[in-house]
Amino acid sequence: MRIANYVHDSIVDGPGLRFALFTQGCPHRCPGCHNPGTHDFAEGKEITAEAVVTEMLKNPLTDGLTLTGGEPFSQAEDCAIIARAARERGLNVWAWSGWTFEELLKEPAQGALELLALCDVLVDGLYLESERSLSLKWRGSKNQRVLDVKKSLDAGEAVLL
């Protein structure tokens, strides 16, 4: 897989102490994105999902895994390996995606449904610069939603956290 970076002890990418994985490559390329260096699929560095899991497990105080990017659902199969390992160790999993919950249900990338099912929380939707707000928690623009994935999957529609 290709990643831009990871952070062992993030306190801004979801609740608690988190291992944040910034995937490399994003098909959305939202104008005004806070992380435009992750857009190019050819940039970043190659690493195996297993090596990321090893890094994630180095800190026993970690509360959760954050999958962001770039677009983690563009590398859903590898991200699912990491998310599964996190869940097996009792960590919660949050993911950010430019695709909406409804679009992910149509599996825009191979393995997207599997990864979605491993997530506890999804922050979905494109970043829209015209909807930007610094007062929003966990999201950058008003159109984005913070969803409870299990409840959303059970209901067959987006359910806000």
The pLDDT, as a whole number, for residue 68 is: 97
The pLDDT, as a whole number, for residue 70 is: 94
The pLDDT, as a whole number, for residue 41 is: 94
| Residue 148 parent element (H or E) | strand 145-148
Residue 134 lies in a domain: yes
The pLDDT, as a whole number, for residue 108 is: 84
Residue 160 lies in a domain: no
CATH code, domain carrying 8: 3.20.20.70
What's the CA dihedral at 113, 116, 118, 122 to 10 degrees? 180
Residue 161 lies in a domain: no
For residue 95, the enclosing domain spans: 2-155
The pLDDT, as a whole number, for residue 32 is: 87
Give, for all 161 residues of the chain, the pLDDT tens digit: 999 999 999 999 999 999 999 999 999 999 989 888 999 999 999 999 999 999 999 999 999 999 999 999 999 999 999 999 999 999 999 999 999 999 999 998 899 999 999 999 999 999 999 999 999 999 999 999 999 999 999 999 999 99
pTM over 0.85: yes
Within a 13 Å sphere around the CA of 103, how many CA atoms are in the beta-carbon half? 13
Residue pair 37/22 in contact by the 8 Å Cβ criterion = no
Tally of domains in the chain: 1
The pLDDT, as a whole number, for residue 34 is: 84
